[in-house]
Amino acid sequence: MSFDAAQALVAADLAAVELAMLRKMGGHYGPLADTLTGLIRSGGKRVRPTLALLAGRLHPPPQPHPLISLAAAVEALHTATLVHDDVIDGALLRRGQSTLNARWTPSSTIMAGDFFFARAAALAAETEHPRVIQLFAETLNVIVDGELRQAFTARDWGQPKQSYYDRIYGKTAALFEVATRAPALLANAPAAAEEALRAYGYHLGMAFQIVDDLLDFVADASTLGKPAGSDLQSGIITLPVYYYIQDPDRRDQLVALVDGQRHGEDVVAEVVRMIRASDAIAQTKAEALRFAEAAIASLASYADAAPRQALTAIARYVVEREF
Amino acid sequence: MSFDAAQALVAADLAAVELAMLRKMGGHYGPLADTLTGLIRSGGKRVRPTLALLAGRLHPPPQPHPLISLAAAVEALHTATLVHDDVIDGALLRRGQSTLNARWTPSSTIMAGDFFFARAAALAAETEHPRVIQLFAETLNVIVDGELRQAFTARDWGQPKQSYYDRIYGKTAALFEVATRAPALLANAPAAAEEALRAYGYHLGMAFQIVDDLLDFVADASTLGKPAGSDLQSGIITLPVYYYIQDPDRRDQLVALVDGQRHGEDVVAEVVRMIRASDAIAQTKAEALRFAEAAIASLASYADAAPRQALTAIARYVVEREF
């Protein structure tokens, strides 16, 4: 099953999620509503709400509305963090389009991000499910903690692998985890089901971010929609870099280049070439595959029917995106 | 009754609120926890949680914990907006101390603000009261809308007074409103009580912000902890400016100065002098007093005992802060 076929299973619900995100936009200040609406409409593949809706097929909730609100809350929170990330990273390109940050002032972008945080909070509250709301609030906390860790561990070349795991858990896996776990809560599913779906979301999210970090080195700038090696340029140590610098000679050489007198794109391009030609790429790929397999294995107790097949297909898609 | 005496009534609960805000800080990334803790400890007068706790004395909730969580959520949300405002305004001084923005990079400050949003969401969720959680989420939405309006109406010299009201509702009154209204919900108080406390918070918040905007012109920089006229320098039209420019000749003169060739502090100082010497100050004061009186009148149905006396004293304190 392709990603598109998996998503097609929940196409109607996904349209409802889109409407839930756009709802109440009319109440907002006119000149801005258009920009915020445009930002929602230009969204990516809607991976996270698709996961929530498919998890909801495994455990249908008593009413459909809370699941739609939850899926929309997840995507709104994702949008909020993307918008703030763009300010934080100073990124000018995302998905090949100029970011809000490149067109707006930083302060407008902060406010737009805050707007999506507010939407996410309101949508989560609409589920009226205390545990889901608490889980959602805790996830926001983990996400922010991940951002803070990323900023404060930049250029720390000796950090352990766990530091990378902690960061990508906050950056990506925590939201995947809540997307697939919360539907089980909404449906009052047994604890074992909640844990299985949590484990699926967690492992898939880890695989997803590892692949993203890999693509930052192996994809070309046009596929990537941003310059290759951009994380490293910000001093962020992702898994390919971690594996590369386990060899002390390579580490010394890389640190000398990145922290040295020469700056800018030519240094980064050189480092990207070095890492791309090394075994760090294969090691990173293998790790992403292990996480994806663990995600798929988490679903073992479910019947081999359309929802499980779709979640399995998405896990495969995530790690096969480019290789 | 003085503000301090009013606050002393709820001193023990206020200490619990402080602890609730600081809770879970240990789980955060070490180097950062100190800064965030410092930011909480250096907080202002805790007006908003004090109001929530006093409202809770009028309608004691079945259990004390949700009220403490609510009061802490209100203050955490206030802190979040202060931190982001400092980036948005580019402010370097607040309460006479250098802001986070002046010491940190904008991106760290965005993340610190997001951290307090996350804390606020978690604390609101702890109340486990769906209506309170929804009200809180809606308030966040109103606050962000107010920020956006402020940014998009800057330098619109012909805007109606209602535009100013809408902005200060979002900026200040909405959070005061939820601080005093939500305790009635937690206590399952009658609808009339919920409305009375909402009206108290709303009017007090409006008075509070009008006085803040007045102080921006009449207080000296040392009392203010920031340069006088700093809002006007950002093109933000507050009530003293609104009243001043109702005279078309004055408006033309002011716009020529602010939008003219000359820039910087000497222009602002000249405009501050002009407004300070005008009747706009008395008109603004009168309006703040009207809102404070309306706040006090909202409490008419309560017994003339300590909680109502304290809330009344705080309303008087808010408008008598400097005049």
Flag if B137 and A124 touch (Cβ within 8 Å).
yes
* pLDDT value for A102: 53
A73-87, A117-131, A222-236, B178-192 — which is least confidently predicted?
A222-236
Token representation of residue B171? 């900026």
- pLDDT tens digits for range A89-124: 665 545 555 555 555 666 777 888 888 888 899 999
Portion of chain A with pLDDT greater than 90, in percent: 61
Contacts of A132 (CB under 8 A, 6+ apart): A66, A70, A124, A182, A185, A186
Tell me: pLDDT of A323 over 60: no
| Interface ipTM above 0.85 | no
What is the per-residue pLDDT for B256? 86
Residue count (chain B) = 323
Residue A88 has pLDDT above 90, yes or no: no
Q: Are A77 and A120 within 8 A, CB to CB?
A: yes
pLDDT at B89: 64
Q: Which residue has the higher pLDDT, A178 or A153?
A: A178
State the CATH number of the domain containing residue B15. 1.10.600.10
Higher pLDDT: A23 or B102? It is A23
Chain A neighbors of B143, CB-CB under 8 A? 118
pLDDT of residue B28: 59
Please tell me the distance in Å from A71's CA to the nearest CA on chain B.
17
Q: What is the pTM of this model?
A: 0.86
Do the domain assignments include residue B312? yes
Is A323 a member of any domain?
A: no
Give the mean model confidence (pLDDT) for residues B61-76: 95
Q: What is the pLDDT of residue A18?
A: 92
Q: Which residue has the higher pLDDT, A39 or A302?
A: A302
Q: What is the pLDDT of residue B103?
A: 56
The Cα–Cα gap between B86 and A148 comes to 18
In a domain, B323, yes or no: no
Residue B315 has pLDDT above 90, yes or no: yes
Please enumerate residues of B whose Cβ is less than 8 A from a Cβ of A: 24, 27-29, 31-32, 84, 87-90, 106-108, 110-111, 113-115, 117-119, 121-122, 124-126, 128, 130, 133-134, 136-138, 140-141, 143-145, 147-149, 151-152
**Token pair listed for A320:** 């096969």
Give the residue-averaged pLDDT of A294-320. 97
Residue B16 covered by a domain: yes
Kindly report, residue by residue over B228-256, the tens digit of the pLDDT: 787 888 788 999 999 999 999 999 988 88
Average pLDDT of the residues in B64-71: 96
Nearest by CB to A29, from B110, B113, B145: name it.
B145
For residue B147, the model assigns a pLDDT of 81
The whole-number pLDDT of residue A100 equals 58
Q: What is the mean pLDDT of chain A?
A: 88
Q: Do B29 and A84 touch (CB under 8 A)?
A: no
The candidate with the shortest Cα–Cα distance to A224, out of A317, A321, A104, A109, is: A321
Q: Smallest CA–CA separation between B50 and chain A, in Å? A: 24
Q: What is the pLDDT of residues A39-53, one digit of tens each?
A: 787 778 999 999 999
With 70 as the cut, is the pLDDT of residue A269 above it?
Answer: yes
Residue that wins the pLDDT comparison between A264 and B269: B269
A218 found inside a domain: yes
Q: Do B137 and A148 touch (CB under 8 A)?
A: no
Question: Would you say how long chain A is, in residues?
Answer: 323
Instruction: Work out the average pLDDT over B154-171.
Output: 92
Q: Is A225 left (phi over 0), alpha (psi -120 to 50) or beta?
A: left
Interface test with A, best of B28, B77, B79, B107 (most A CBs within 10 A): B107
With contacts defined as CB-CB under 8 Å, which chain A residues touch B89?
Answer: 107
Mutation for B interface: A69, A100, A119, A144, most B CBs within 10 A: A144
**Confidence band, pLDDT 50/70/90 cuts, at residue B263:** low
Please report which residue ranges of chain B form alpha helices under DSSP H.
3-8, 11-22, 30-41, 47-58, 64-89, 100-103, 106-126, 130-152, 161-168, 174-186, 191-218, 221-224, 230-233, 239-244, 248-258, 265-276, 280-298, 306-320
Which residues of chain B neighbour A108 with C-beta distances below 8 Å? Answer: 151
Among the residue ranges A3-17, A151-165, B282-296, the one predicted with the least confidence is: A151-165
pLDDT, mean of residues A152-173 = 92
Task: Decide which of A225 and A282 is more confident.
Answer: A282
Q: Are B93 and B155 in contact (CB under 8 A)?
A: no
The number of folded domains in chain A is: 1
Is A244 a member of any domain?
yes
**Nearest by CB: A110 against B87, B125, B128:** B87
- pLDDT on residue B230: 79
Q: What is the mean pLDDT of chain B?
A: 88
Give the C-alpha separation, A51 to A119, whole Å. Answer: 20
Query: What is the rounded average pLDDT of the residues B64-89?
Result: 89
**Residue B91, pLDDT score:** 56
CB contact under 8 A, A118 and B136: no
- Whether the CB-CB separation of A58 and A302 falls below 8 Å is answered with yes
| Choice among B35-44, B97-106, B286-295 with the minimum mean pLDDT | B97-106
Domain assignment present for residue A2? The answer is no
Cα A105 to Cα B136: distance, rounded to the nearest angstrom: 28
pLDDT tens profile B290-308: 999 999 999 999 999 999 9
Contact B87 A108 (CB under 8 A): no
pLDDT at A237 over 80: yes
Whether the pLDDT of residue B97 is over 60: the answer is no
Does pLDDT of B198 surpass 90? yes
When mean pLDDT is compared across A294-303, B4-13, B67-76, B88-97, the lowest value belongs to B88-97
More reliable by pLDDT, B86 or B77: B77
Q: What is the mean pLDDT of residues B67-95?
A: 81
User: Is B148–A119 a contact, with Cβ atoms under 8 angstroms apart?
Assistant: no
Residue B186 to chain A, least CA–CA distance (Å): 15
So what's the pLDDT on residue A72?
Answer: 96
Query: Does residue B18 lie within any of the structural domains?
Result: yes
Tell me which amino acid residue A100 is.
L
Range of the domain at A188: 7-317
Token representation of residue A24: 């109440």
Residues facing residue B190 across a β-bridge: none
Element (H, E) at A98: strand A97-98
> Which whole-number Å values give the CA distances from B287 to A118, B203, B231, in the listed order?
31, 11, 19
pLDDT at A63: 92
For residue A142, the distance in angstroms to the closest alpha carbon of chain B comes to 9
Lowest pLDDT segment from A74-88, A207-221, A235-249: A74-88
